[in-house]
């Protein structure tokens, strides 16, 4: 540092002496000394600049490492969330998804999971819509996220928006995505049923009968119930009774039982 100060001083003295004497023509020795001093100053400046650059790069590297660790922690939280969901501890799985968002606010899987659980079980629909919209904003045109948003709208009884999103998702659906294929067709059938278009409702609901794999989202009891409702609306009461009995055999449900009782009563039969 002392060497730098001496060279800097020498450069200034040479330059200032010429200014004072109104002499801007330097001798060879002075020119060489001035050039040497200025070169040293420039080199020192570049070294300092490089130090700051390295510091900035290192800081960026630390931030990147922190982001990677947070994303890993968020991923671990989502692993726990899915384990809890599979154990039917649905609200506990939502808590883990919220923990994931504490580490990574842009974790689309967490946003989508929260929205899906809330909408499928008809809870906290305002939060469900907010999280679903965020997932779709962060990752547009991803069919499972579109499907969740459509389910949120369906749960809110906003059937027009649910139909719009479901239709768009079906247009870009990959046939290998069995989960989404089932859910989209099942919802489309329910939407047509709600609209009173029973033939189209049956067309879409019938497509879902081909699904026989084990999966929590595959609600065969609910499917049978909706098919029973559709057959009844179409006037095929025998088929309606067949499917409502199938639904009740899979899941005891007061709504199912009430529909079967009314159906049997209308036919002059008893349960």
Q: Any idea which of 4-18, 39-53, 92-106, 117-131 has the lowest mean pLDDT?
A: 4-18
Q: Indicate the average pLDDT of the chain.
A: 82
State pLDDT tens for residues 159-185: 999 999 999 999 999 888 888 888 899
Q: Which two tokens stand for residue 140?
A: 């547009």
In sequence order, what DSSP letters do the residues of 208-241 get, joined into one string? GGG--S--TT--HHHHHHHHHHHHHHHT-HHHHH
Q: If pLDDT is split at 50, 70 and 90, which confidence band does 41 have?
A: low
Q: If pLDDT is split at 50, 70 and 90, which confidence band does 60 have?
A: low
Count the alpha carbons within 13 Å of 71 in the hemisphere toward its beta carbon: 9
Q: How far apart are CA 137 and CA 115, in angstroms?
A: 14
Give the pLDDT of residue 142.
94
Please, where are the H alpha helices in 87-142? 90-103, 108-120, 125-138
Q: Which two tokens stand for residue 223?
A: 């499917």
Q: How far apart are CA 163 and CA 209, in angstroms?
A: 21
182 within 8 A of 145, measured Cβ to Cβ: no
Q: How far apart are CA 218 and CA 167, in angstroms?
A: 20
Q: How far apart are CA 11 and CA 35, in angstroms?
A: 8
């Amino acid at each position: 540092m002392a060497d730098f100060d001496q060279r800097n001083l020498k450069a200034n003295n040479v330059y200032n002496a010429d200014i004072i004497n109104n002499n801007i023509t330097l001798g060879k020795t002075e020119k060489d000394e001035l050039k040497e001093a200025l070169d040293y100053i420039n080199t020192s400046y570049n070294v300092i600049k490089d130090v700051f650059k390295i510091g900035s790069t290192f800081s960026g590297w630390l931030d990147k490492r922190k982001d990677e660790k947070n994303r890993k922690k968020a991923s671990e939280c989502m692993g726990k969330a899915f384990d809890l969901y599979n154990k039917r501890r649905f609200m506990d799985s939502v808590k883990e998804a919220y923990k994931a968002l504490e580490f990574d606010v842009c974790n689309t899987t967490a946003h989508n999971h929260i929205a899906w659980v809330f909408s499928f079980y008809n809870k906290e629909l305002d939060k469900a819509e907010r999280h679903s919209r965020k997932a779709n904003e962060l990752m547009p045109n991803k069919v499972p996220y579109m499907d969740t948003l459509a389910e949120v709208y369906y749960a809110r009884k906003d059937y027009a928006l649910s139909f719009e999103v479901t239709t768009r998702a079906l247009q870009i659906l990959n046939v290998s995505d069995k989960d989404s294929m089932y859910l989209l067709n099942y919802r489309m059938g329910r939407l047509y049923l709600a609209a009173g278009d029973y033939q189209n409702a049956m067309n879409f609901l019938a497509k879902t009968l081909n699904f026989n794999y084990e999966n929590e989202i595959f609600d065969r009891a609910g499917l049978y119930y909706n098919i029973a409702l559709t057959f009844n609306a179409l006037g095929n009461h025998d088929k309606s009774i067949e499917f409502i009995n199938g639904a009740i055999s899979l899941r005891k449900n007061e709504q199912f039982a009430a529909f079967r009782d009314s159906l049997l009563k209308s036919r002059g039969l008893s349960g």
